[in-house]
A and B are shown apart, each in its own frame.
Chain A
Amino acid sequence: METDYAIIGGGVVGLSVAWGLLRRGRRVTVLDGDDGSFRASRGNFGLVWVQSKGMTQPRYAKWSQHSASIWADFARELADTTGETVPLEQKGGYDLHFSEETLQDTVEKYEGLKAKLDGDYPFEVLGHNALRKEEPHIGPKVVGAILHHQDGHANPLKLLQALAADVRRMGGHLLTGKTVTDVSKPDGFVLTCADGTRVDAAKVILSAGLGAAQLGPKMGFKAPIRPQRGQVLITEKLPKLINRPSLIARQVDEGGIQIGATNEEVGTDDRVTRSGVSGLAADAIAAYPALARAQLVRSWGALRVLSPDGLPIYQQSADMPGAYLVTCHSGITLAAVHARVLPDWLEGTEAAPDLEVFSEARFAVS
């Protein structure tokens, strides 16, 4: 099989990029793992989130803002072409605080970032009473919140399904159960899969989530990514209880309350634990006491795909020109720029964004 782009990894990152390239008329083959492989795209929290991103690197804040600003249009296009809506709500989101000190601290940091962003960082601080007007179920322990108007949330599974459907519709090849074990470049690129499948490609994108840690070095990347576990809970479907999302809880379009997430350095152990689950439940009840009576229906652990500084990595291989590493922690938030803007960078067009700060040059040689 021969193709313009072979994309390794069919998670939200690989599929977003594949979608963007197909829309520009490129031939694309996506190679994806099997039913049980680690898939952050299947276990995430679904926030399209701006606040707190890029506190030390304003370019990342801007990149996130850019994506958030074109997300609705991107979702509309997907809905038009697939006939399935990708639920998205962008009416702001909260950072909830249980103490005045942490609230003040965060506000100061946001002010600093806002200055670096020429004032484009629309947030406001709500005291307990103001917050209660917006969120009648908020509990007395919440002293206040930062409401950031560029935040929102989506249904990440509908996004994943819509991308998979549309990639097929546009003639992309989406091959599942194909674990790429080797990439070589005798002339063009040759990809070999565990089952013997071979794909020839002019260019290769490595967007295999955690799988990039193994394949990356073979392709000339540092690929310094690690797993970080996040446990997530979801309740039975409930009537409207939460208006806007926060990092603690959000009400999904189907009605369940999603509660998340832990941050644990436990390697590739993606199980849920009693302490993880009970801690999340306690936090959620502190924020919204009515949740004490809600039934937890499911919980899961998913592994974040993290770089050392938490920022995305966009890097062309020096050893194998034409091979690109594309990976990030916030693949839902960044789906819109990955689909609509990143292809310019991959194709080297005039409109290519400057992504230098996201290159691997920032990581010391190890």
Chain B
Amino acid sequence: MKPVSPFLELDETARVPVTFDGTPLDLPQGANLAAALLVAGVDVFRHTPVSGAPRAPFCMMGACFECLVEIDGVVRQACMIDVTAGMDIRKAHEDFRGAV
């Protein structure tokens, strides 16, 4: 994660706590999860199961599946989900990395 995110946010919205890979973050309630993570400075959402290459959101419209994260044990598209309080978010398929 970078100290300054490559993205900035125009709106001010009430924030709620979530965790990303165990690190606590405060994200805007009801915001698009992928957008909120990018603004929070998360630049790698997952590593590919094929080569372990880092990936992050690409299309923001639910078509590319690059923004996959794991929430409550289910792998989902971050760009298709709204932020809610207490989300436990993890990089998708990360337990693969040892295996590759």
Contact = CB atoms under 8 A, between A and B. Distances in A.
Nearest to A237: B49
Contacts of A238: 93
Q: Is the interface of B mostly helix, strand, loop or mixed?
A: loop
A239 B75 CA distance: 13
A239 B99 contact: yes
B93 A293 contact: no
Chain B interface size band reads under 10
A240 B96 CA distance: 8
A77 interface: no
A331 to B, nearest CB: 28
A308 B49 CA distance: 42
Nearest to A236: B75
Contacts of A240: 99
A293 B73 contact: yes
Interface residues of A, number: 9
B95 interface: yes
B96 A255 contact: yes
Contacts of B96: 237, 239, 255
B74 interface: yes
B97 to A, nearest CB: 9
Contacts of B99: 239-240, 255
A176 interface: no
A293 B75 CA distance: 8
Interface string A288-321: 0000010100000000000000000000000000
A236 B73 contact: no
Contacts of B50: 237, 254
A155 to B, nearest CB: 14
A237 B73 contact: no
A243 to B, nearest CB: 14
Interface in B51-100: 73-75, 93, 95-96, 99
Top 8 closest pairs, chain A to chain B, by CB: A237-B49, A239-B95, A293-B73, A293-B74, A255-B49, A239-B96, A295-B75, A239-B99
Interface of A: 236-240, 254-255, 293, 295
Interface of B: 49-50, 73-75, 93, 95-96, 99
Given A240-B99, A255-B99, 15 more contacts: A236-B75, A236-B93, A237-B49, A237-B93, A238-B93, A239-B93, A239-B95, A239-B99, A254-B49, A254-B50, A255-B49, A255-B96, A293-B73, A293-B74, A295-B75
